[in-house]
Amino acid sequence: MHLIETRDLCHAYSTSVRDVLHNVNFIADERQRIAVLGPNGAGKSTLFRHFNGIIQPKSGSILVRGEPITKANLHEVRKFVGLVFQNPDDQVFSTTVEQDIAFGPYNLGLDADTVASRVDHVVSMLGLEELRSRAPHHLSGGEKKRVAIAGVLAMEPQVMVLDEPTAGLDPQGVKELFGFLNDLPTRCGVTVIYSTHQVELVPEMADVVYVMEKGEITGVGTPEEIFLQEDLLSRAHLELPALPRLIKSMQDHGIAIESAYTYRDAEAAFLKAFGKT
């Protein structure tokens, strides 16, 4: 049984002239890191909103732990699948950061001690100690983003869905956040699904990559399988990350070097190509 599965999912907003999602088949399993890539308007956010029942399919289905989402299980589904919105202002609204993070766990009906210990835990996991008593509306965009993530994490979902989590973060913030998300499956047994326009870190940070274009899934596979398909990438306005791009250019110039996608593999490929191993 999959944690999340969509079958031929179609969606149209009331104002849409065409389907915004068309026959989308998507699967998320335990402890996976799944990247969803695609140009603006491809339908990534719309797909994510189905995962915890914010919107419903026009046709096709969405199953969470093998069950369709119904009014009766919506609360359980939202405990199981946590969604971090693209814009943290849609999520962060309490008087202090601490209260904001506590909001979700309180809504789950947890007692005050459990809520307090969950807040402490995520504050330390995300390094938010200095922000705890600050007013969220005075935080920078990147700080707000971390608070929004902490609020969802404090509900201890089994699946964390993050809509462009790195948008608005500085390079160090992107690196830290990806490092943090990368550890979640092994550290907490959580499945991480995220959309991003930053392909550079995807080879390091995804077991499975979905590519979307105009509401359809146009590619699915490992980062290596996806980044090998030049046509697929260009149609979806995606670039090959810098390291594999450099290696490919060297190969095109006749230099004998093995293809590599992650930093570690690329380093090994360079050392081997230049006789240093």
Ligand X SMILES: Nc1ncnc2c1ncn2[C@@H]1O[C@H](COP(=O)(O)OP(=O)(O)OP(=O)(O)O)[C@@H](O)[C@H]1O
Q: Residue 24 or 122: which CB sits closer to ligand X? A: 24
Question: Total number of residues binding ligand X (CB under 6 A)?
Answer: 13
Question: Does 13 contact ligand X by CB under 6 A?
Answer: yes
Question: Does 16 contact ligand X by CB under 6 A?
Answer: yes
- Using CA of residue 185, residue 62, residue 79, residue 148, what is the dihedral sign? positive
Question: Does 24 contact ligand X by CB under 6 A?
Answer: no
Least separation in angstroms between CB 39 and ligand X: 7
Least separation in angstroms between CB 15 and ligand X: 5
The count of other CB atoms within 10 Å of the CB of residue 169 is 21
Question: Does 211 contact ligand X by CB under 6 A?
Answer: no
Place of tokens 């609360």: 75
Where in 140-179 is the site for ligand X (CB under 6 A)? none
Q: Residue 13 or 93: which CB sits closer to ligand X? A: 13
Nearest to 66 by CA among 153, 7, 152: 7
Question: Does 127 contact ligand X by CB under 6 A?
Answer: no
Q: Residue 52 or 158: which CB sits closer to ligand X? A: 52
Least separation in angstroms between CB 18 and ligand X: 9
CA gap 144, 84 in Å, rounded? 11
**Segment contacting ligand X by CB under 6 A, of 44-52, 121-129, 135-143, 232-240:** 44-52
Least separation in angstroms between CB 134 and ligand X: 28
Question: Does 203 contact ligand X by CB under 6 A?
Answer: no
Compute CA distances 78 → 83, 104, 199, whole Å.
8, 10, 29
Least separation in angstroms between CB 43 and ligand X: 4
Place of tokens 């390291």: 243
Question: Does 277 contact ligand X by CB under 6 A?
Answer: no
Q: Residue 4 or 42: which CB sits closer to ligand X? A: 42
Least separation in angstroms between CB 46 and ligand X: 3
Among 28, 34, 42, 126, interactor with ligand X by CB under 6 A: 42
CA gap 101, 155 in Å, rounded? 9
Q: Residue 126 or 149: which CB sits closer to ligand X? A: 149
Residues 6+ apart with CB under 8 A from 238: 37, 38, 199, 211
Q: Residue 40 or 172: which CB sits closer to ligand X? A: 40
Where in 80-109 is the site for ligand X (CB under 6 A)? 86
**Which residues of this protein are in contact with ligand X, per CB under 6 A?**
13, 15-16, 20, 38, 40-46, 86
